[in-house]
Amino acid sequence: MARRKKTKVVEKDKGLQEYEGWTLGDLVWFPSRYEATPRQGKIVRFHPEDNIAPCVSLHDLTAGGQRVMPVQYLFEDKKTAKSNRQSYLDFLSDSVAKSREKK
């Protein structure tokens, strides 16, 4: 029986390791658009030059899946994230209105 060739694992560049006090792998709380309860996530990647605002990619530990959130809406505790939910919803509605104006 023939042996398989070993596949080489090439590590991808993860980009920035730290941005505005947050580092890769940090656990953060963030407001949810459709639920009043904040969610917890782990920072996977930073996107400082995003079109809308500087953002991060998160692995959502509460509901599973990947999320992208503006850096300004990441918090260290659940209570602060919950109290800033309305501000986040206002931000979303403003960004949607601006994107519709461009079309």
Q: Which domains does the chain have, with CATH numbers?
A: 18-102 (2.30.30)
Whether the model pTM is above 0.75: yes
Q: Is the pLDDT of residue 96 over 80?
A: no
The pLDDT value recorded for residue 91 is 87
Other CB atoms within 10 Å distance of the CB of residue 41: 24
Give pLDDT, residue 44.
Answer: 92
CA-wise closest residue to 35 among 91, 88, 100, 101? 88
The 8 Å CB, 24+ separation contacts for 46-50 are 46/15, 46/16, 46/19, 46/22, 46/71, 48/16, 48/19
Q: What are the C-alpha distances in Å from 97 to residues 5, 84, 85?
A: 53, 20, 19
- Cβ–Cβ under 8 Å, residues 32 and 39: yes
Residues 37-71 have pLDDT tens digits of: 999 999 999 998 888 889 999 999 988 899 999 99
